[in-house]
Structures are given as structure tokens and as C-alpha cells.
Amino acid sequence: MSTDSTPLQSSAVINEAVQTLRDGGLVAFPTETVYGLGADAKNPEAIKKIFAAKGRPPNHPLIVHLAAPDVYDVAKIDWTALLSPWVRDLSEDALLLVNTFWPGPLTLVFKKDKSVLNELTGGQDTVAIRAPTHPIAQELLRKFKGGVVAPSANRFGKVSPTSAADVRNEFEGMLGLMVLDGGDCEVGIESTIIDLSSGDKAILLRPGVITPGEILAKTGIQVYQPGEVLKDESEEVLPRVSGSLRAHYAPTTPLRLYAPGRVLDALSEFPDIKSRVAVAVLDSESSLGHDGHPSVHFEEIIMPSDGAAFANRLYRSLRDLDQQGWDLILFPEPPAGEEWDGVRDRLQRACFGSGPSSSSHDSN
């Protein structure tokens, strides 16, 4: 495994990464959300290497990452020209979303151009695309001059990486993998995914830090929840996307959520595994104390009560706790509000998939 531990990568290192991609190799690189495991989106053999490295089901689609041109005025970017090799139809709403939120943590799903490889779409007639903001990702993509598919750089179903060290630990001993170090990820959870492939409605397929409310406020576009679409219609039009399985983002240590003010009840619910428990507590909550629980050794982990800050810390905390030998990890149920929906989605899937027997989630 080739690595560079300097957060600000030199042009020579970026050039080496570009050549690795052109040669059909894999490059792990930072985005503002999480680290991605990248391959040339036009090379079917390189794409197969991603599925093999991650242990990812072949029908689980990938996201294509594109570069924004290096221009002074972002408003002058011709996204239509950049998207035309990938997308069959580009609506006015799609262009409005792209011009408002790209580069950024928003993935859009389109009807795919006929040239887009089935290997990256999971055999579907749709393609998911985004443009990351991280400067290293942008430089890599600009110099590569093409699309790069990049799911999170971790084993399938496990906690996503937010640092280069996470990637190296995940794929320790993997020959030929180049890892670009861009420091810690700013957002910390994966991008919001909006489906535009049905033509008349924008549908939320995966929540993230960009919320339907923010999209409505900035563009006037109404984003619908899958449940708001007619059931028979949704079954026909909603594509499969990354991170949509019931079990995902999961630590090996059992993870459970507790209701507000009910952490002590949660400690009592798991008598067989409650001897050493890590309890995440919002910084706005009072300390738990140890009264009445002499048989339980637990440690409080203070988490931010701000949704965006919590998201930034989520995977880092889960990875660290997973390596510390706890019997159980407890996290608070996220507060109400769509700014917490991305965190809530990740925690619920992580809970379902957590535990030592959850090494594979192919059947979920």
C-alpha cells in the first residue's frame, strides 16, 4: 500500500495518483464527506477491483465523482457540458440544484447515458453523480480529466472512514492501493442523495447535511420523501443507491440507541453484555453518574448537541469506541428535526448491522 501522511499533497503525489487511476488501479482520496475508494468510471476491470476490495454486492451501485473546472467564478461553470457524457436528460430543476449546491455534499440520480457502464450502476438505467468540494479530490479529478467512482473506503457495511489512517487500517496489507491524505473530513457523513430520474419529482433517497428544507429555501424545489410517492409508483421508479441497505455503517461492537432520559433503563436492558459500556451523551445533557449501577463500568463520551457537529464526530467516535473493547455502545436517539435526519439514518442502520456476527450484509 502506497501512502503519504502529509495532508497537503504535492503535485507529484497527485500526478502519481492520476497515473494509478489511468493504469486501472485504486486510489483512496478525501472528500468533504468521507474518504472514497476511487477507480476509473470508464474501466470495468478497475470497477470490479472496488467491489472485490470492499466485499460489496455487484448490484449495489456506485457514485460517479466529477471535477468542477478551475475557474474564478463558480457561476460560470458549464455543468451541462460536464454532465452530458453521463446523463440522458438534464431538467431545469437538475441544473438549478447543480448550480446551487455543486461542488458539495449532494448526489443527484439521473437517467444514464447509454455509454455509462452497467458495472457502476448495478445494472440499473440510472447513474448517481456528485462533485466533491475537497481541494485534493478536486485536483485529482481535474488532472484525471474523467469520472471516478468512489464508494466509502472501507469494507462493505462497516463504519465509513473520515481520515487516511482509517483507510490504512481498513485495508492494511492491500497491495497496490494508494492513499491520499487530506486530513479529517469536514462533514463526516455521506452526501444527501436526491433522485431526479423520474422526471417530475425530486425524491430523497438518502438524507445528509443538505436537507429538503435547505433545498426548498435556496431553489424553490420541493423534495419528496419516498413515502409521499404512490407506493406502486415508488416501487417502479426509485433506484437503488449507496448506503440504502437496512444494515450499514456498522461497528463490530453491539450498538444501541436510548431514548431521552432513559440511558439507565437501556443499561438494564442488556444484562448479558453490560459489564463495560460506552455511553455517548449530548453536551446539553446532565452527567449520568454511577448511582445504582455498581455492576456496570461505563464511560461517558460527550457528543455535540448541534446536528452538523454531531455528524462530523459520528464515525470517528464509532471507530474509536469499536477499537476500545467495550461490550456495548449506547448512543442517544437524535433529536427531532430534518437537520438530524442524516445522523438518525446512519445510527439506525449502524445499530441493525452492529455486533460481531455482522461481517456481511449482502442479504439485507
Angstrom distance (rounded) from CA 215 to CA 207: 12
* Segment holding 301, helix H or strand E: strand 297-303
Who has greater pLDDT, 285 or 139?
A: 139
Copy the grid coordinates of residue 247: 444494515
CA–CA gap between residue 134 and residue 105 (Å, rounded) = 10
pTM for the whole structure: 0.91
Q: Please report how many Cα atoms fall inside a 13 Å half-sphere around the Cα of residue 253, on the Cβ side.
A: 23
From residue 301, give the alpha-carbon distance in Å to each of 281, 287, 320, 321, 361: 6, 10, 11, 9, 28
C-alpha–C-alpha distance, residues 340 and 69, integer Å: 32
Catalogue all structural domains in the chain, each as residue range(s) with its CATH number: 2-237 (3.90.870.10), 255-353 (3.40.50)
With 70 as the cut, is the pLDDT of residue 294 above it?
A: no
**pLDDT of residue 178 exceeding 90:** yes
pLDDT tens for each residue of 198-214: 878 999 999 999 999 99
What digits encode the pLDDT tens for the residues 43-100? 999 999 999 999 988 889 999 999 987 766 666 788 999 999 999 989 999 999 999 9
The grid coordinates of residue 50 equal 472496488
Over range 209-225, report the average pLDDT: 97
Give the chain's length.
Answer: 364
Torsion of CA 266, 267, 272, 277, to 10 degrees: 120
pLDDT at 71: 67
Report how far residue 89's alpha carbon sits from residue 86's, in angstroms, rounded to the nearest whole number. 9
What is the pLDDT, as a whole number, of residue 261? Answer: 77
For 343-357, what is the mean pLDDT? Answer: 89
Write down the pLDDT at residue 266. Answer: 73
Q: Which residue has the higher pLDDT, 308 or 363?
A: 308
> What pLDDT was estimated at residue 100?
95
Q: Exposed, middle or buried by CB within 10 Å (0-12, 13-18, 19+), for 187?
A: buried
Is the per-residue pLDDT at 231 higher than 80?
no
pLDDT at 273: 53
